[in-house]
């Protein structure tokens, strides 16, 4: 390479560096502007989402815990939400079109969405396996937000999950307040009312559920030890062909619980024509399900759908038949 070529090459490198610095400075000023509009909790949540190293995430969690520890336990529901910058903890017939489908059956459904698996730094889905990557929390509005570089929904879910982890007293007070409020509202509208607390988690809410014996709760779970109650309906969830899970699928069937399977849309009709299947897409009101042991849910696209299929979480016709033969064998 002659002297002129070397100079030319260095010139290109210098230009690229200048361009990269400009991009970095634009990025940091965008982030600065976002931060200015957020309260301290949301700022921490954004920092947590952007942190790459586990140690950074851990430090942020400790700061969140410290801040939450300082909240007075007697704070009213309204003041708690305003302190956290949230509009609600759980919401009725929310963004999830699945919960909204209950309206056709005159049901109003209160749903709670947390940050699933270990996304908050604490695992709220102890029995999650192959479902983690294609988890439905990354579908719908969250997927759209993520693609457009936003994080409003993920930030709110993080805050709620941290509240549950670090201040269960305040969390339970707030969720009970909302259950009472929404049950009253549904009654006023002449609608039936139900609650799903694990829309994107798999936690034990039995204390809250037991305190509302007149209200119908339901969940999908992968926890083989979760107990149903008179007012708590459980559907067991398929995860994968992992050997250790086989006794749990068998146990669910023996208990009379249905097992829910996510299947690829193209094979939906054929799968539903198989014996003992029932469709679970027309509503999310699982406690109203009729006959059949194997609930069929058409998969929603998430950022990791293909991985879900590869890992055996999402099934096509042949793999569904294989799963049933395995469970019944
Ligand atoms: S258990 Fe449910 S909420 Fe948790 S990671 Fe799996 S699919 Fe998502």
Q: Which atom of ligand 1 is nearest to the CA of 129?
A: 6
pLDDT digits (tens, 9 = 90+) for 104-140: 899 999 999 999 999 999 999 999 998 888 887 776 7
Give the residue among 240, 244, 75, 94 at the shortest CA–CA distance from 156: 94
pLDDT digits (tens, 9 = 90+) for 91-105: 986 656 778 888 889
Indicate the average pLDDT of the chain.
89
Q: Which atom of ligand 1 is nearest to the CA of 124?
A: 4
Q: Which two tokens stand for residue 214?
A: 């007149």
Query: What's the 226 CA to ligand 1 centre distance in angstroms?
Result: 15
Write down the pLDDT at residue 178. 98
Cβ atoms of 320 and 277 closer than 8 Å:
no
pLDDT digits (tens, 9 = 90+) for 300-325: 766 677 788 888 999 999 999 999 99
Tell me if 222 CB under 6 Å of ligand 1. Answer: yes
SS3 261: strand
Between CA 195 and CA 309 the distance in angstroms is 30
Cβ atoms of 46 and 151 closer than 8 Å:
yes
CB atoms within 10 A of CB 30: 11
Q: Going by C-beta distance under 8 Å and a sequence separation of 6 or more, which residues neighbour residue 242? A: 129, 130
Between CA 326 and CA 236 the distance in angstroms is 16
SS3 188: helix
Tell me if 202 CB under 6 Å of ligand 1. Answer: yes
> Buried b / exposed e across 183-213, counting CB within 10 Å, b at 16+?
beebeeeebbbbbbbbbbbbbebeebbeebe
Look at ligand 1, atom 3, and give the residue with the nearest C-alpha.
200
């Amino acid at each position: 390479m002659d002297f002129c070529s070397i100079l030319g090459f260095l010139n290109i490198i210098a230009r690229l560096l200048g361009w990269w610095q400009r991009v970095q400075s634009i990025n940091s000023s965008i982030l600065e502007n976002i931060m200015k509009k957020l309260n301290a909790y949301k700022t921490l949540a954004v920092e947590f989402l952007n942190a790459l190293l586990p140690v950074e995430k851990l430090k942020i969690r400790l700061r969140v815990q410290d801040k939450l520890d300082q909240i007075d336990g007697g704070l009213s529901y309204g003041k708690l939400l305003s302190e956290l910058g949230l509009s609600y903890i759980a919401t009725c017939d929310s963004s999830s079109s699945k919960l909204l489908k209950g309206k056709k059956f005159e049901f109003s459904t209160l749903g709670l969405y947390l940050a699933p698996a270990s996304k908050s730094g604490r695992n709220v889905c102890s029995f999650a396996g192959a479902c983690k990557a294609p988890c439905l929390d990354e579908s719908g509005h969250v997927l759209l937000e993520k693609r457009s570089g936003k994080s409003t929904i993920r930030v709110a879910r993080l805050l709620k999950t941290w509240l549950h982890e670090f201040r269960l007293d305040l969390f339970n007070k707030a969720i009970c307040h909302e259950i009472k409020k929404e049950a009253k509202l549904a009654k006023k509208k002449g609608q039936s009312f139900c609650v799903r607390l694990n829309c994107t988690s798999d936690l034990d809410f039995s204390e809250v559920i037991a305190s509302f014996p007149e209200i119908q709760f339901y969940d999908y779970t992968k926890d083989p030890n979760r107990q149903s109650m008179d007012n708590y309906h459980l559907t067991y969830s398929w995860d994968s062909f992992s050997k250790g899970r086989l006794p749990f699928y068998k146990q669910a069937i023996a208990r009379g619980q249905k097992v829910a399977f996510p299947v690829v849309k193209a094979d939906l009709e054929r799968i539903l024509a198989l014996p003992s299947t029932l469709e679970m897409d027309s509503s999310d009101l699982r406690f109203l399900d009729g006959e059949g042991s194997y609930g069929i849910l058409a998969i929603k696209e998430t950022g990791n759908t293909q991985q879900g299929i590869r890992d055996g979480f999402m099934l096509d016709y042949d793999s569904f038949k294989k799963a049933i033969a395995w469970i019944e064998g």
